[in-house]
Chain A
Amino acid sequence: MLAHKVTAAKADLADPTSAVWAKGQVMPVSLIPTPLVLQPSPWLVQAFDGRSYGKLAAAGLSFLHNGQLIAARVEWSVPTPAVSTRGPDEFADACAVILPFVRDAPLITMGSVDQWVNMWLWRADSVGPFTVTAAGLGTTQRIQDGVLEAKGIYRDGRWHVAFVRLLAPGTSQDHVSLKPGTPWQVSLALWQGANQERAGLKSFSPGWMPLEIA
């Protein structure tokens, strides 16, 4: 997957409907359900055995950058958008772009103590976006420090979500730094709110995909 360099303002990169995204190379991404047995909850592993989740199997992912900012755009189909978390049984549609802090960090366990992973998390209930760090299952930490911005639009049966962030947000431990010319890796996760998907109950692309930053 190639993140083309474009001349674009932040507002355009952050808008999934902006014409600038026509310059993005959309990579079709295949997703599978996360393995139930790996969920860090013995009760959950047993109680959710046989329950269907992670059925969002396809998405489109593209990247752009303008030399200073990097942006990702995710789109996927979902028949009924779930946008509320008001009720105790309501969960919102969500997507996350996942980046390793170090190449080949273990994706299936959301990193490890020595090899963290980073997530850009967007939720359809307008809570967030969050920058997430993880050092293994059950260790995710969400922050909102203003570095990450995101916007999602549901149109024609599909979610279109754009994230934008500085390529190199500084010395913070919470953000992976990216650099043009340095190949990196990316993965994707989707949650279908109408199916009460949350936490590790999701679909994800099971391996790191190469990310070239032009």
Chain B
Amino acid sequence: MPVPQLDKARLMRSERQIGMVMDLNKCIGCQTCTVACKTLWTAEQGQEQMYWAHVETRPGSGYPKNALGSGGGWTADGTKAVAGALPPQQAYGTVYDFDYEAVLFDGTAEHLAPTVEPTWGVNWDEDQGAGRHPNNYYFYLPRLCNHCTHPSCVASCPRNALYKRDKDGIVLLNQERCHGYRFCLAACPYKKIYWNHVAQVSQKCIFCFPRVDQGIPPACSAQCVGQVRFVGMVDDTAGPIYQLVHVWKVALPLLPQHGTSPNIYYVPPTAPEALDDAGRPTGKSRIPIEYLESLFGPGVAPALATLNQELGKVKRGESSQLMNLLHVLRYDDLFKLEQRPNNSKWFGAFAAPNGQPVIAPEGEK
């Protein structure tokens, strides 16, 4: 029996919008977010190279390789579609195992090694960076689906398998409607939709909506050891997202020129001053502002100016509301979700496979 026709315009809209801000000054590239997501959602066959959340190193080629230069999205004003390419398999690297058998049992090899020569992968070019000593630099860029306000993936799907959830704008991909045509992958300028060749459907980040529905932050955010990730409703004027994006204007979207209006924002990395040949500070950031602007758009300079100004206050022993917000003195301040969790739900969410809670028992929090 045919599936019903759906109203594309309706699928593109939501009543409210959830968002995330990531403070890149605090990301240490530990990939705890990556692992938290991977173990929770993408551990099945066909998902080996699927990372709904991952961290890549910038400057670098990212994951899949050259993802951010593969087109898709819209013109900057969001009015006209821009063609995008589908990444080839090589952009994800190869799937490989390690030769445990040879090392641990057969004795035919001494050191564990991949069974095939890896060619690319998540954060493949970690620490490659750019610049020459003493002005070399790099920083980490955690990425996930941007749950865009004007999502080209939703617009692209001839099956209307993709939609924005009404109550929070989370972009979901209906696995029953998906026929694996992958227009969404071509249309996503961030290449954050993945092809599952086993299930023959496309799959993507769901912003951990089953957790969010219980007031529990997404796994990538809850597990982040650097407390990098703020989560809340974008229109909540008292919440961290609104404060950082719209009041302080220090959190910026990735590649805003693609016209999709992302709802994942980044506090750009500040950096020490570059040094001249004699080792004297030049007054310029070691990370070229042009590079940051190529990622986060024209808001970088004002954002960095605000950050440095507020940082200066703290250095002088004064108080800064912005720095207090970014420092996150209480873990709970990272998240302001509509549904407040009760403790039992928290502990359920963080239970280890043996059922034991893996964070402090109730009462110690």
Name A's B-contacting residues (CB within 8 A).
Answer: 39-48, 51, 85-90, 111, 113, 116, 127, 133-142, 173-174, 196, 198-200
Nearest chain A CB to B192 CB, angstrom units: 13
Chain B residues closer than 8 Å to A134, beta-carbon distance: 2
Chain B residues closer than 8 Å to A113, beta-carbon distance: 5
Chain A residues closer than 8 Å to B156, beta-carbon distance: 41, 43-44, 47
Quick one: given A43-B152, A43-B155, A47-B83, are A141 and B2 in contact (CB under 8 Å)?
Answer: yes
Chain A residues closer than 8 Å to B1, beta-carbon distance: 133, 141, 173-174
Nearest chain A CB to B75 CB, angstrom units: 10
Quick one: given A87-B88, A87-B89, A88-B89, are A42 and B8 in contact (CB under 8 Å)?
Answer: yes
Chain B residues closer than 8 Å to A51, beta-carbon distance: 83
Contact A47 B180 (CB under 8 A): no
Does B248 lie at the interface of the complex (its beta carbon under 8 Å from any beta carbon of A)?
A: no
**Could you give 27 example pairs across A and B, Cβ below 8 Å?**
A40-B160, A41-B155, A41-B156, A42-B8, A42-B81, A43-B81, A43-B155, A43-B183, A44-B81, A44-B156, A44-B158, A45-B81, A46-B80, A47-B84, A85-B200, A88-B87, A88-B182, A89-B85, A89-B87, A127-B200, A138-B6, A138-B159, A141-B1, A141-B3, A142-B179, A198-B180, A199-B158
Interface of A is mostly: loop
Quick one: given A85-B200, A139-B4, are A199 and B179 in contact (CB under 8 Å)?
Answer: yes
Name B's A-contacting residues (CB within 8 A).
Answer: 1-6, 8, 80-89, 92, 152, 155-160, 179-183, 185-187, 194-195, 197, 200
Quick one: given A41-B158, A134-B2, A138-B5, are A89 and B89 in contact (CB under 8 Å)?
Answer: yes
Instruction: Name the residue on B nearest A127 (C-beta).
Output: B200
Choose among B8, B81, B89 the residue that contacts A47 (Cβ–Cβ < 8 A).
Answer: B81
Quick one: given A42-B155, A173-B1, are A88 and B81 in contact (CB under 8 Å)?
Answer: no
Considering residues A43, A111, A199, A200, which has the most beta carbons from chain B within 10 angstroms of its beta carbon? A43
Nearest chain B CB to A178 CB, angstrom units: 19
Chain A residues closer than 8 Å to B182, beta-carbon distance: 88, 198
Chain B residues closer than 8 Å to A138, beta-carbon distance: 5-6, 158-160
Chain B residues closer than 8 Å to A142, beta-carbon distance: 179
Choose among B88, B179, B187, B195 the residue that contacts A140 (Cβ–Cβ < 8 A).
Answer: B179
A30–B180 Cα distance when bound, in Å, is 28
Nearest chain B CB to A164 CB, angstrom units: 23
Nearest chain A CB to B133 CB, angstrom units: 38
